[in-house]
Amino acid sequence: MHFRENVSLVREVRDIVIGDVVLIAAMTMTLSGGIFYGGSSLLSSIEYVAPIVALGVTLSFILHELMHKFVAQHYGAIAGFRVSPNGLMVTLLTGLFGFLLGIPGATVIYASSFTKRQMGLVSLAGPLTNFAVFLAFLAIGILAHPARGSYLASTVGFVLFISMLLAFFNMLPVSPLDGSKVLAWDKRVYVVTMAVIFALMVLFTGISLYQVVFMVIIALMLSLFYRNVL
């Protein structure tokens, strides 16, 4: 029994590390313009961007998935992160072309009897973790007062951006994203949570309406992908 649990844990650690590394690589290439638009400056850009991306993505992605797992286990479910081979390929390929559809995998939950409330809370845990990361780095930015254009300012700015971006994207009411399960559980919780996340994203990331529409389109594509239509 313990041997099987250890093997399962080893696999989960392996999967989440692979997912994180692939997502970091894809996001770095996206921010650097991709292989066609980055040009000769791509490598030097990656050297500057990659450490910032690694911190932001790791905190926002791994903590998000782990919180899904821990809350699911709290309610008696078996849960663990699993990579998707097709998802890893899509993540890397889109990163190469300068835009990102990040679907390296997801936390898989096995439960014999989950209520809508329990599933809603498990789903809400991920975006709320991104919100906590956002607040932590907002506090760092306020307390440290990094000079505009400094490496610390860039790091804080990116973590604020990626944490709210992932929270917003995952809260879209499109299956299999977290938002669809939160909405099915409690519309009031969904509206309040989404309103706060959206307001913070607009205020602190400067995201445009075009980018919001693009994320909705990506979410719909993701829904089709996981329903085996694509």
pLDDT in tens, 192-207: 999 999 898 888 877 7
Domain that holds residue 212: 2-226
Give 217 or 5, the one with higher predicted confidence: 217
pLDDT above 80 for 43: no
Quick one: pLDDT band at residue 134, thresholds 50, 70, 90? Answer: very high
Calculate the CA dihedral of residues 133, 134, 138, 144 and round it to 10 degrees: 40
The answer to whether the bond into 176 is cis (omega within 30° of 0) is yes
Give 91 or 43, the one with higher predicted confidence: 91
- Give percent above pLDDT 70 in the chain: 89
Q: What is the DSSP letter of 106?
A: E
Overall average pLDDT of the 141-147 stretch: 88
Give 100 or 191, the one with higher predicted confidence: 191
pLDDT above 50 for 229: no
Cα separation, 123 vs 64, whole angstroms: 10
Least confident of 94-103, 127-136, 160-169, 182-191: 94-103
How many domains is the chain built from?
A: 1
How far separated are the first and last CA of the chain, in Å rounded?
38
Least confident of 4-8, 43-47, 191-195: 4-8
Overall average pLDDT of the 21-48 stretch: 74
What residue type is 66 in one-letter code?
L
CB environment 135-161: b (16+ within 10 A), e (fewer): eebbeebeeeebeeeeeeeebbbbbbb
Specify whether the CB–CB gap between 123 and 182 falls below 8 A: yes
Specify whether the CB–CB gap between 182 and 120 falls below 8 A: yes
Q: Which pTM does this prediction carry? A: 0.86
Give the pLDDT score at 21. 95
State both tokens at 68. 């899904």
Respond yes or no: is residue 65 known to be catalytic: yes
- 5, 12, 47, 65: the catalytic one is 65
Overall average pLDDT of the 9-14 stretch: 89
What residue type is 189 in one-letter code?
V
Closest CA to 125 of 192, 69, 186: 69
Give 229 or 221, the one with higher predicted confidence: 221
Give 80 or 37, the one with higher predicted confidence: 80
Give the pLDDT score at 223. 73
Q: Which residues contact 31 (CB under 8 A, 6 or more apart)?
A: 45, 49, 53
What residue type is 162 in one-letter code?
I
